[in-house]
Structure 1
Amino acid sequence: MNASDRTPADLLRSALAADPARPLVTFYDDATGERVELSVATFANWVAKTANLLQGELSASPGDRLALLLPAHWQTAVWLLACASVGVTAELGGDPADADYVVAGPDSLEAGLACSGDRVALSLAPLGRRFPTPPAGYADYAVEVPGQGDRFAPFVPVDPDAPALVVDGTELTAAQLVGRARRDATELGLGPASRVLSGQSYDTWAGVSAGLYAPLVAGGSVVLCRHVEELGAEGLAKRVESERVTLTLAH
């Protein structure tokens, strides 16, 4: 990645310029058997559509705060980069009552209703399917996002020194986030050929760094595994081999 990158959105733009066709996020849900692989270009397209939904449809702007009530999932990674593209502070597991927006999965819909602003629900079903019936009080992400534009430009340039992420009670600016991800990538020995398998949750910095930011800053890729404990040792070893994993951080 470029040394001048100071925001997560910068990192994604650099990845797109370097090699748009390479895999960036490969997601497994070992409770359902789902596997989704997103190239840099496909991931960036999802980010652009989601950022357009945020900025255009929901009228989000820099300084707004979004409670992200989702597990480690490829769509969570998309929302994190979309928030960074708009300048919205993403709060992983944040308090909906204190947030301007909430994005919730099936297990957190009731909690998300405490948000007085706009609410978006994700089914987290394979292939990003819609809810059979839209949850009361929520817009269905799978309904709203397909029609959004494939290119995104922020109305206001994102400030690298403004808050970008809150995780496990720690607030990070965009520049601090990128700096910490760079240090993590160095400590883990990551480079452009690295492929990190992570089974860690996104409720700590270590988990979200291993499962997204450190591989992104290094120009590598991540194999993000939800419910990885379902695999067992033999199944995990087979996945490491089949996915050409170079570093395993299963727990």
Structure 2
Amino acid sequence: MNATDRTPADLLRSALAADPARPLVTFYDDATGERVELSVATFANWVAKTANLLQGDLAAEPGDRLALLLPAHWQSAVWLLACSSVGVVAEVQGDPAAADLVVSGPGTLEAARACRGERVALALRPLGGRFPQAPEGFADYAVEVPSQGDRFAPFAPVDPDAPALAVDGVELTSAQLVARAREDAAALGLAAGSRLLTGRTYGSWEGLSTGLFAPLAAGGSVVLCRHLGQLGEEGLAKRVESERVTNSAV
């Protein structure tokens, strides 16, 4: 990654320039058997579409605060980078009533209704599938995002020193986030090409870092596992081998 990268969106642009075809996020849900692998290029395309939805249809502006009520999931990772691209503060498991807009999974819709701004719902179904029927009062992400543009340009440059992420009582600017991600990558022994397997949730900085930001900062990739405890030791060993895992943070 480039030393001049100061936002997560910068890190993604550098990854795209370096090797767009390599894997970036491999997601497993061990409760359903789902597996999704996204290359840097595919992930970046989802981020661009989501950022266009956020900036365009949802009229989000730099400094707005978005309550992100999603579990550790590949679509959660997309939303984190989309927020960074626009300059929106991602408040992971934040208070919807105090947020400018909310993005919710199927299990937190009632809590999300407290948001008086725009509301987006994700079904979190395999292959990014939509709800059978969109929840009342919410835009269905899977319906809205496909038609968005494949390229994104922010209306205003993102300030690296402005707040970017809030999680579990910690608030970081973009520059602080990138710096911490690099520190964590070094502590985990990550380098370009590393494959980090993690089963941590996205409810803490440690989970977000291992589940996205540290591998991205190192030029590596993440094997993000939800419900990893259901896999068992033998299954975990097979996954480590099949996914060519080099580092673990479970």
Q: Normalization by structure 2: what TM-score?
A: 1.00
Question: Which residue of the partner structure matches residue 106 of structure 1?
Answer: 106
Match of 1:10 in 2: 10
Distance 1:232 1:2 in 2: 38
Q: Deviations over 1:22-47 (max 9, x none)?
A: 00000000001000000000000000
1:63 equivalenced with 2:63 (yes/no): yes
Q: Deviation per CA, 1:66-111: give whole Å up to 9, x if none.
A: 0000000000000000000000000000000000000000110000
Once residues 229 and 240 of structure 1 are traced to their aligned partners in structure 2, the CA distance between those partners, rounded to angstroms, is: 14
Aligned partner of 1:129 in structure 2 is: 129
- Alignment of structure 1 residues 181-192 onto 2, 5 Å: 181-192=181-192
| AA matched with 1:166 | A
Q: RMSD in angstroms over aligned alpha carbons?
A: 0.4
Measured against aligned partners, the alpha-carbon deviations of 1:179-204 in whole angstroms (never above 9, x if no partner) come to: 00010011111001210001000000
Query: Structure 1 residue 249: deviation in Å?
Result: 1.3
In the TM superposition, 1:153-172 aligns within 5 A as 153-172=153-172
- Partners of 1:189 and 1:230 in 2: CA distance: 27
Structure 1: which 5+ residue stretches go unaligned? Answer: none
Aligned twin of 2:248: 248
Q: 1: CA distance between counterparts of 2:223 and 2:239?
A: 10
Residue pairs, 1:24-173, within 5 angstroms: 24-173=24-173
- Deviation string for 1:130-175 (max 9, x for gaps)? 1001001100000000000000000000000000000111110000
For 1:169 and 1:85, the matched residues in 2 are separated by 23
CA distance in 1, matches of 2:156, 2:83: 13
Distance 2:110 2:128 in 1: 21
- Offset of residue 248 of structure 1: 1.4
State the distance in 2 between where 1:64 and 1:205 align.
20
Q: Which amino acid aligns with 1:242?
A: S
Residue 235 of structure 2 corresponds to: 235
Which residue identity does 1:87 align to in structure 2?
G
Aligned with 1:41: secondary structure?
helix
Give the fraction of aligned pairs with identical amino acids, expressed as a percent: 78
Alignment partners' CA distance in 1, 2:220 and 2:48: 21
Structure 1 residues 185-227: Cα deviation after superposition (integer angstroms, max 9, x where no partner)? 1111100121000100000000000000000000000000000
Amino acid at match of 2:81: L
After superposing the two structures, state which structure 1 stretch, 241-250 or 213-222, moved more.
241-250
Tell me, in whole angstroms, the C-alpha distance in 2 between the residues paired with 1:158 and 1:75: 22
| Distance in 1 between residues matched to 2:134 and 2:186, nearest whole Å | 44
The count of residues paired between Structure 1 and Structure 2 equals: 250
Q: Distance in 2 between matches of 1:81 and 1:248?
A: 23
Does the residue aligned with 2:190 lie in a helix, a strand or coil? coil
Runs of 4+ aligned residues of structure 1 deviating over 3 Å after TM superposition are none
* Rounded Cα–Cα distance in structure 2 between residues aligned with 1:127 and 1:6: 31
- 2:181 partner SS: helix
1:182 and 1:127 map into 2 onto residues whose CA distance is 31
